[in-house]
Amino acid sequence: MKDKGLEALVLRRNPNLAWAIAGRAHVPTTIDAACFDLVITQDSAAAITNVVEAPRLIAEEFPSEISVKTIPWSQGRDPLLPTGAKVGSDQPGGERVDLGIEIEIIRSSLIAEDVARFKEICTDAAIALGGAMKEVSRTDREIDVAGLITRALWRANLEIAFLGVAGQDRVDKFRHPLPTTSLVGNRVSASICARRKGLIASVTRIVTFGPMAQESLAKYEGIYKVEGAMFDATVVGKAFSDPISAAIAAYPQNGFEKDEWQMHHQGGPTGFLPRDWPANLGTTRTIADNQPIAWNPTGAGWKAEDTILATKSEVKILTNDPEWPTFVVNGRTRPFLLQR
């Protein structure tokens, strides 16, 4: 605000508001619009919300420093928001200065308090998913698996931002397999984006039943070698395109088709959205210190996905489950298949 000579800043987007208050800014999880707006000046922060949401937000979400202006549920919030060239916002409108990208860059680097709670969220998400996957049987339907995961996540105080499940008949057909009534069969892959107080952890785990062909095991290990190459290229201050370049080179080196990387996005920055955007070869945005990232290389029905924190010293893997089987790739402990 000082740099741009602004008198006020209006936050309206769900991920930015969740970041600002370290809490929940949504009611429906399916829309970007939040249940309040936040007006920030040099010395104050005021939330604009309606009579329905105000009591809950004050009691359960807002820090005490935020003042609250309440309107009838039948009225819109726009008339109470400052407008004009001296006001910035995270989205266009009201003749305000659009600072959406600048605000996204600021929140991409987590402060110490958010790092601490994010580590806990990521661990809880990995353990919840792992525990649910251990209950799966080959005669379950994909929606039964989704039910087990949903129960485990809510019991861990985690909301579902995304849930994908694929059994043996769909796992190599679709990269974003929303659960169906198809049976699990000999293999099931499950992916989650689990959220608590705005922060989101992304995890994928795979269970197999019966003996595994050596070729399949090689493909599983291969996708983690692609991920390892991406981890090695995830360096604070370097462009997000570097890990993508590393993945493109690693796919054919590890038994996949040369164009495998074009079949699915490879992941990108996360934190307050499942992904802020998917990184690609043209991405010039640089990796920030303490930035959450979720890479997700895929190929031949296999997928590697965990949430990491890029720091100046190393890549820290956050979604760890001490009870899940592991193997070592590029010197890092990674999740193996749960074979049953």
Q: Where are the beta strands (DSSP E) in 112-245?
A: 159-166, 187-196, 199-208
Range 89-118 average pLDDT? 96
In a domain, 317, yes or no: yes
Q: Taking a C-beta distance cutoff of 8 angstroms, is the pair 22, 63 a contact?
A: yes
What mean pLDDT value characterizes the chain?
A: 97
Q: Is 66 part of a structural domain of the chain?
A: yes
Q: Is the separation of the CB atoms in 184 and 142 below 8 Å? A: yes
Q: Taking the complete model, does pTM exceed 0.85, yes or no? A: yes
Amino acid 137: pLDDT: 97
State the residue range of the domain holding 61.
8-107
269 within some domain: yes
Q: In CATH, what number is assigned to the domain containing residue 82?
A: 3.40.350.10
Inter-residue contact 194 to 203 (CB < 8 Å): yes
The 10s digit of each residue's pLDDT in 131-160 is 999 999 999 999 999 999 999 999 999 999
In this structure, the answer to whether residues 160 and 136 fall within a common structural domain is yes
Lookup result for tokens 């400052």: 82
Q: What contacts 122, CB < 8 A, 6 or more positions away?
A: 201, 203, 307, 318, 319, 320
Buried b / exposed e across 219-256, counting CB within 10 Å, b at 16+? bbbbbbbbbbbbbbbbbbeebbbbbbebbbebbeebbb
Phi-psi sector, 198: left (phi>0), alpha (psi -120 to 50), beta: left
pLDDT at position 32 over 80: no
pLDDT-derived band at 171 (thresholds 50, 70, 90) equals very high
Specify whether 278 is located in the same domain as 198: yes
Q: What percent of the chain has pLDDT over 70?
A: 100
Q: What tokens does 229 get?
A: 């190459």
Is residue 1 domain-resident? Answer: no
Q: Beta-strand (E) ranges in the chain?
A: 8-13, 33-40, 45-50, 67-71, 87-89, 97-98, 159-166, 187-196, 199-208, 267-269, 291-295, 298-299, 302-303, 306-310, 315-317, 326-329, 332-335, 338-339
Percent of the chain scoring above 90 in pLDDT: 98
Same-domain status, 209 and 82: no
Tokens representing 3 are 């740099």
Domain count for the chain, please give it: 2
Are 95 and 181 in a shared domain?
Answer: no
Judge if 134 and 267 occupy the same domain: yes
Same domain, 134 and 278: yes
Sorting pLDDT into bands at 50, 70 and 90, what band is 30? confident
Shared domain check, 60 and 188: no
Q: Are residues 78 and 170 in the same domain?
A: no
Q: Is residue 257 part of a domain?
A: yes
**Which pLDDT belongs to residue 243?**
98
Report d(CA 286, CA 267) in Å as an integer. Answer: 15
Q: Is 2 within a domain?
A: no
Q: Is the pLDDT of residue 270 over 90?
A: yes
Give 282-305 pLDDT, tens digit per residue.
999 999 999 999 999 999 999 999
Could you give the CA distance from residue 336 to residue 177 in angstroms, rounded to a whole number? 21
Residues 201, 311: one domain?
yes
Query: What pLDDT does residue 33 have?
Result: 86
Does residue 22 sit in the same domain as residue 127?
Answer: no
Last residue of a domain, one of 107, 139, 160: 107
CB atoms within 10 A of CB 284: 7
> Tens digit of pLDDT for each residue in 181-227?
999 999 999 999 999 999 999 999 999 999 989 999 999 999 999 99
Q: Give me the mean pLDDT over the 311-315 stretch.
A: 97
Q: Which phi and psi angles does 275 have, rounded to 5°?
A: -145, 135
Q: Show which of 107, 140, 159 is a domain's final residue.
A: 107
219: CATH: 3.90.230.10
> Would residue 240 count as lying in a domain?
yes
What DSSP designation does 103 have? Answer: H
Residue range 99-126: average pLDDT? Answer: 97
- Domain assignment present for 185: yes
Whether 151 and 255 map to the same domain: the answer is yes
Longest Cα–Cα distance in the chain? 66
Looking at the structure, do residues 144 and 226 belong to the same domain, yes or no? Answer: yes
CA distance 71 to 64: 20
Backbone angles phi, psi at 285, to 5 degrees: -55, 135
Helix 112-133 and helix 142-155, axial crossing angle in degrees, nearest 10? 140
Q: In which band, very low, low, confident or very high, does the pLDDT at 15 lie, cut at 50, 70 and 90?
A: very high
What span, in angstroms and rounded, lies between the C-alpha atoms of 309 and 108?
Answer: 11
pLDDT bin (cut points 50, 70, 90) of residue 101 is very high
* CA 121 – CA 198 distance, rounded (Å): 10
Which of 107, 129, 156 is a domain's end point?
107
In this prediction, residue 145 carries a pLDDT of: 98
- Extract the tokens encoding 235: 């360096």
